[in-house]
Amino acid sequence: MEYFDIVIIGGGPIGIACGLEAKKKGLSYIILEKGPIVNSLYNYPVNMQFFSSSEKLEIDDIPFISKEAKPRRSEALEYYRRIATSNKLNIKLFEKVNSISKEDEEFTIVSEKNSYKSKNIVIATGFYDIPNTLNIPGEDLPKVSHYYNDPHYFAGQKLVVIGASNSSVDAALESYRKGAEVTLIIRGDEIGERVKYWVRPDIINRIKEGSIKVYYKSTVKEISKETITINTKNGLETLPNDFVLALTGYKPNFTFLEQVGVAFSNDEKKIPVYDEDTMETNVGGVYLAGVICGGLETHKWFIENSRIHAKMIVKDILEKK
């Protein structure tokens, strides 16, 4: 069984940043990623453009050059992939971690392919893998998805998009422009204020002109093979429907954190307990990095404000060592 100074769980931008910092400081490390390099970014919509500018997505002061100020998914994949490969990071892909146990001061990390030992674990698993479900009849139908990829798929189809966030608005606009008949279902009374500032006027104008239909202050009651039933402010309404994109947000893998022994705040935000100076949790030797630190407040942490976690964590491990 191999031993490392640090086992990093999650091969996204922040996990990669942690690996770079560990390598730079002479610590042995391994990054375990259940999918491809930067798995979450890989699963973003094919045409996605980041809200942040390229320099804010940089890690370890490695320049990120993009065609526009705000890079697109394909450019980000190229950037982080090149960092991982050119630095010969010790990263194991398509290797999901199944369990972590601790005896005395040492952890045993068991993956689908191997087992490892370490005194320090960094959990940098993000939040994109578990969608917030609607818990309504018909949500498990093949026509319903919690992820959006390519608008071409919905051309000529009656598409309902649930939500008012960036992902919902992007899906609605792109699918409309590829020939879908788009209807937005929004719980609130307007398009979300956090929607990208250069996109928000576009969706508002498409709604005003009638190109995209919208139901404000509405929720979905039921989905069937050919229809969708909505609770609107004027009562129930049933619409003909081919596909549903339930883009209602995502959440961290709380079950995994609980199995490790990480504690949480006592409110609905479910924020993990950690030291803000070192990123170490209530479990000695277990550190958090990236968006997972925000619990259900997934809008609080981004690459740009959490890339510093790598230096904080490695510094604390070195001081203990």
Residue where one domain finishes, among candidates 246, 270, 287: 246
We report the CATH number of the domain holding residue 210 as 3.50.50.60
Burial (CB < 10 A; 0-12, 13-18, 19+), residue 264, is middle
Q: Which of 219, 246, 273 is the last residue of a domain?
A: 246
Contacts of 107 (CB under 8 A, 6+ apart): 7, 100, 101, 117, 118, 119, 120, 121, 285, 286
CA distance 161 to 191: 13
pLDDT in tens, the chain (321 residues): 899 999 999 999 999 999 999 999 999 999 999 999 999 999 999 999 898 999 999 999 999 999 999 999 999 999 999 999 999 999 999 999 999 999 988 999 999 999 999 999 999 998 888 899 999 999 999 999 999 999 999 999 999 999 998 999 999 999 999 999 999 999 999 898 889 889 999 999 999 999 999 999 999 999 999 999 999 989 999 999 999 999 998 888 898 999 999 999 877 888 999 999 999 999 999 999 999 999 888 778 889 999 999 999 999 999 987
**Same domain? 15 vs 158:** no
Do 217 and 234 lie in one domain? The reply is yes
Residue 189 belongs to domain spanning: 133-246
Tell me which of 246, 278, 303 is where a domain ends.
Answer: 246
Q: Are residues 16 and 152 in the same domain?
A: no
